[in-house]
Structure 1
């Protein structure tokens, strides 16, 4: 049942600009670092001599949590907007398919979309490093982690944003909240490491990454369960 709903959701997002967002976001991050290293090449090469890849990834990581929070907000809003704009909730929920399957399908789709963006970020980061002449051996583990570890740490916000976007027809509230949290995440580093907005960065940077990966997954799952229970009981227009 979820498979059929997911297949339908894939068809619905065709031509909606969501895939464009998924591709342009990691490209934007990489282009920004290409300009950073291009304009300050001699200084940065000297600064990170002996650990050039680590320097590139560190500079990239400064913006990855912000990009993930903003991406989760926009992807969730655009997915929900497909149903809200067509006023198709009543028709959709009248079909012989459970509300749980409908909601879970959209959450799985948002996971897939964000995962594709994270994969592209890792690939483009590797390509950028090679283009800058950093050469081999390429730190495949670190390059892969920069895409996916922060993503796991950001799952609570993705679950929350999808819930709010599907619940409210007017997207002003979820989008405003999501963008506000994304901006706030730039200034929460001095707060407790257990503050959720810090988890995407700590999931990559912390000496012990597993607790933050687990916390991101667990809280994301908890929010998802709450959202499912509420969505199953809520009247939808």
Structure 2
């Protein structure tokens, strides 16, 4: 049932600008670092002469949590808004499919879209490095994949919360405002306690316990998902 709902949701997002957003985030981050290295090329090559690829990844990593929180917020809001704007919740939930399956389908769609964005970021970093003249045989493939996906897993609690709020509220002001606030706050995550989930995407990249913070994000994300699914299953819809 969930897969049928997911297939229907996949068709609904066509022409809604969501794919533009999925591409915009990683392309924007890569372009920003392209400009950064382009303007300070000689200085940065000298600074990171021991590990050029590592220097590029470190420069990107500080913006990844913000991009994940903001991108996840907007993707969740746009997906929920497809049903809110069309006032199609009653028709959708009248179908022979459980509300939990509907919620899970939309969660899976959000996670898939954000995962595509993370994959594009990894590919974009490799392309940018090659354009900058970094050696292809020194590409740190594990780190290139890790910079997006480890942080992505650690950001799951925020994505799950944003989907819950977006589906529960016809007016998207609250979830979008919260998402923007969390995104801006993540710039200062290195000054917060490691117990604060906002720090986990950054610590999943830049800490000695990377797997711990990614695992914590996965676990808390599942814990946030459960009450969200229960609330959606019991909530009256317009």
Instruction: Give the structure-2-normalised TM-score.
Output: 0.98
CA contact (8 A) 2:119 2:145 kept: yes
Residue 73 of structure 2: aligned partner: 73
* Structure 1 residue 188 displacement after superposition: 2.9
* Structure 1 residue 28 displacement after superposition: 0.4
Residue 108 of structure 2: aligned partner: 108
Moved more, 189-198 or 66-75: 189-198
Q: Please report the RMSD computed on the Cα atoms of aligned residues, expressed in angstroms.
A: 0.6
Does 2:212 match 1:211?
yes
CA contact (8 A) 2:189 2:202 kept: no
CA contact (8 A) 2:5 2:102 kept: yes
Q: Distance in 2 between matches of 1:191 and 1:91?
A: 45
Does 2:50 match 1:50?
yes
Q: Distance in 2 between matches of 1:109 and 1:188?
A: 28
Deviating 4+ runs (over 4 angstroms): none
* Structure 1 residue 73 displacement after superposition: 0.5
Structure 2 unmatched runs, 5+? none
Residue 28 of structure 2: aligned partner: 28
For 1:125-164, what aligned pairs fall within 5 Å after superposition?
A: 125-135=125-135, 136-164=137-165
Q: Distance in 2 between matches of 1:125 and 1:187?
A: 24
Structure 1 unmatched runs, 5+? none
Q: Distance in 2 between matches of 1:46 and 1:188?
A: 28
Q: Distance in 1 between matches of 2:224 and 2:58?
A: 30
Residue 122 of structure 1: aligned partner: 122
Aligned residues: 237
Instruction: Give the structure-1-normalised TM-score.
Output: 0.99
Q: Distance in 1 between matches of 2:223 and 2:77?
A: 20
Residue 96 of structure 2: aligned partner: 96
Q: Distance in 2 between matches of 1:126 and 1:45?
A: 16
Residue 235 of structure 2: aligned partner: 234
Q: Distance in 2 between matches of 1:184 and 1:70?
A: 11
* Structure 1 residue 137 displacement after superposition: 1.8
User: Once the two structures are superposed, what CA deviation does each residue of 1:182-208 show, in whole Å capped at 9, x if it has no partner?
Assistant: 101112321211210000010111111
